[in-house]
Amino acid sequence: MRALRITTRLIFSLVSAPLAFVGCRCLQEPPKPTIGAEPLLTRDTGPPIGAWSIVGKLGEGRPFGTARVRARRSTFSRAVVWREVAIDIVDLGDIAKKGVIRRVEPPPCAKGPRPFEYTDDPLRLTQVATEWGDGIFFDAGASCGYDLEHDAWIPVPALPASAGAVVTVLKNGDLLVTGGSDWIGALGGHSEPRADATRWVAETNTLVTLPKMSRARMHHAAHRLLDGTVVLLSGKGEPMEAFEPSRNAFRALGVQKAGGATVLTGDGRLLFLETDECHLFDPSPATWSFCAKMPTPRTDFATTTLDSNLVLVSGGYAIADGGFGPALPRAELYDPHVDLWRDVPAMPLAMARHESVKVSDGRVLLLGGVSRGPEGPTVDVAEVLLFTPPKDP
């Protein structure tokens, strides 16, 4: 009788084990395709979500100058626009009192009549979150910055930043300066990238020279992850590395397997978008995966991660045979959680090479850039567009 019970249990376990295994797999989330597996285009067929409006114009009443604009968000409903000959404040929270777009006079630390003039390198604008308060903006090579909260110029740390250097605000308010360039030769010379790195310590107002990076970099990208680590990128096929603030040290992250525009998603991954290609990089562990292709192939577009974790992709040039096509008035939202693209209404106007800035209330400003029709010339875009995300996406 005992042998019969043992035999019965054994048969039951052999029969039920595969069923339990299958049931366990049904509960698992399907794995993301890794690099090497081609993704499918995934698009929501529902109605467009969100809304657009035109806030005003940059440089109204004076020459607009070049289309090259640097803009950053603040904890207020404002954005600072650093242009060739002036600074504009786009103010969404104080319209009745000061107007939507207002000009800021040049700073007292300015040298020469055109302190913000572009040379071969656009100004690197940095938002500083330190003991002085949030919403302080300055060029890395300047000695004063603009305080949005008090509408005043204040002293800022003088950083050893050369042309092509990138300044990143660390989680504790310190500043990390990476790369840059040296000019080699006189007339007809060239810029040589640097591997230097420096940290400005906010608590003691001192500069700390860091170990050199694994490779020289200039005009690169730096993204601060949710844990405070900073990832440095120089382009597809180039080595990546991460700066760990707790160790004041860099570590290798492997080769960058995708290029294009890069944005940090709300769950801590890096999203790479190029023409219609979409890739996700998970820094922990360092793994790459395909994601759903962009419905509208484009280049020179702007990206912003919304408070809902959706990524707004706006404007850009259409991809045409033999080169770039006209500027696009199209925008789309990508949901990295479910790997799905969603439509938004058409933009009020077409634009490319613009800046996309999220302000404190979650709305997004599109500033600067250029526009071009199928046959017409390329023109500067002075209009500032505002995207209002859906309340319940």
Q: What is the pLDDT of residues 127-149, one digit of tens each?
A: 444 434 456 666 666 667 777 77
Query: What pLDDT, on the 0 to 100 scale, is given for residue 50?
Result: 94
Q: What is the pLDDT of residues 272-310, one digit of tens each?
A: 999 999 999 999 889 999 999 999 999 999 999 999 999
Indicate whether 223 belongs to any domain: yes
Query: What pLDDT, on the 0 to 100 scale, is given for residue 1?
Result: 46
Query: What pLDDT, on the 0 to 100 scale, is given for residue 43?
Result: 76
Indicate whether 10 belongs to any domain: no
Q: What is the CATH number of the domain that holds 353?
A: 2.130.10.80
Question: Which segments in the chain show pLDDT lower than 70?
Answer: 1-41, 59-87, 93-99, 106-143, 186, 188, 322
Indicate whether 38 belongs to any domain: yes
Query: What pLDDT, on the 0 to 100 scale, is given for residue 85?
Result: 52
| 243 in Cβ contact with 178 (< 8 Å) | yes
Beta carbons within 8 Å of 365's beta carbon, 6+ residues apart: 55, 71, 79, 90, 92, 356, 357, 358, 359, 384, 385, 386, 387
Beta carbons within 8 Å of 291's beta carbon, 6+ residues apart: 32, 39, 271, 278, 279, 280, 334, 336, 339
Query: What pLDDT, on the 0 to 100 scale, is given for residue 2?
Result: 43
Query: What pLDDT, on the 0 to 100 scale, is given for residue 77?
Result: 67
Find where tokens 């071969």 sit: 120
Indicate whether 201 belongs to any domain: yes
Find where tokens 């604008």 sit: 125
| 318 in Cβ contact with 330 (< 8 Å) | no
Indicate whether 324 belongs to any domain: yes
Query: What pLDDT, on the 0 to 100 scale, is given for residue 175?
Result: 87
Query: What pLDDT, on the 0 to 100 scale, is given for residue 25?
Result: 28
Indicate whether 231 belongs to any domain: yes
Indicate whether 7 belongs to any domain: no
Domain of residue 188 covers: 32-388
Q: What is the pLDDT of residues 333-346, one digit of tens each?
A: 999 999 999 999 99
How far apart are alpha carbons 279 and 272 in whole angstroms? 5
Tell me how many domains the chain contains. Answer: 1
Query: What pLDDT, on the 0 to 100 scale, is given for residue 55?
Result: 87
Query: What pLDDT, on the 0 to 100 scale, is given for residue 98?
Result: 43
Q: What is the pLDDT of residues 38-68, one digit of tens each?
A: 555 677 778 889 999 998 887 653 333 333 3
| Model-wide pTM > 0.75 | yes
Indicate whether 42 belongs to any domain: yes
